[in-house]
């Protein structure tokens, strides 16, 4: 490959990465896998909000993410809080397969899901 061609390819690659990050294509959130039974979600939710160190204040009664009050929604918020906080320190979006990564922002109304680059 010629050096000019190689430089062009590298430039195109960097441009694509740059445009992709500006467009937000690389943003990812961690949410409950809808296939997971509620019991498993609730157990994972307890762990995430306790030992896991997720910030679960927004899913408490009268807080913006309390509604909908379902295992799936509360677990999603807690999983994402944990994931955003710890993803750069080895924290993964797994929770014994109760969780999955999505590139759709799960925020709704005044309930905002964190995204940290
Ligand atoms: C938890 O989240 C709330 C709402 O975003 C924030 O006000 C609070 O400071 C956070 N608590 C901790 C311990 O990070």
Q: What is the DSSP string of the chain?
A: --HHHHHHHHHHHHHHHHHHHHHTTT--EEEE-TTS-HHHHHHHHHHHHTTT----GGGSTTSTT--S--HHHHHHHHHHHHHHHHGGGT--S-TTTTEEEESS---BTTBPPP---
Answer whether residue 108 is part of any domain. Answer: no
Answer whether residue 77 is part of any domain. Answer: yes
State the total domains in the chain: 1
The alpha carbon of residue 12 and the mean position of all alpha carbons in its chain are separated, in whole angstroms, by 28
Answer whether residue 114 is part of any domain. Answer: no
Answer whether residue 46 is part of any domain. Answer: yes
Q: Give the pLDDT of the chain (117 residues) as one tens digit per residue.
A: 678 878 877 776 776 666 656 665 689 999 999 999 999 999 999 999 999 999 999 999 999 999 999 999 999 999 999 999 999 999 999 999 999 999 999 999 999 999 999
Among protein residues, the one with the nearest Cα to ligand 1's atom 10 is 55
Answer whether residue 75 is part of any domain. Answer: yes
Closest atom, ligand 1, to C-alpha of 55: 1
Among protein residues, the one with the nearest Cα to ligand 1's atom 7 is 57
Residue 31 is part of which domain span? Answer: 26-102
Determine if ligand 1 sits within 6 Å of the CB of residue 69: no
Closest atom, ligand 1, to C-alpha of 58: 4
Answer whether residue 111 is part of any domain. Answer: no
Answer whether residue 15 is part of any domain. Answer: no
């Amino acid at each position: 490959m010629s050096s000019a061609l190689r430089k062009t390819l590298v430039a195109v690659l960097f441009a694509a990465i740059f445009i992709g990050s500006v467009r937000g294509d690389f943003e990812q959130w961690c949410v409950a896998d809808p296939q997971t039974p509620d019991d498993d979600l609730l157990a994972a939710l307890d762990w995430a909000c306790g030992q896991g160190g997720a910030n679960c204040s927004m899913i408490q009664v009268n807080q913006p993410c309390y509604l909908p009050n379902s295992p799936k929604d509360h677990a999603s918020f807690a999983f994402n809080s944990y994931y955003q906080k710890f993803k750069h320190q080895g924290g993964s979006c797994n929770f014994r397969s109760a969780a999955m990564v999505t590139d759709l922002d799960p925020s709704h109304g005044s309930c905002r899901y964190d995204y940290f680059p």
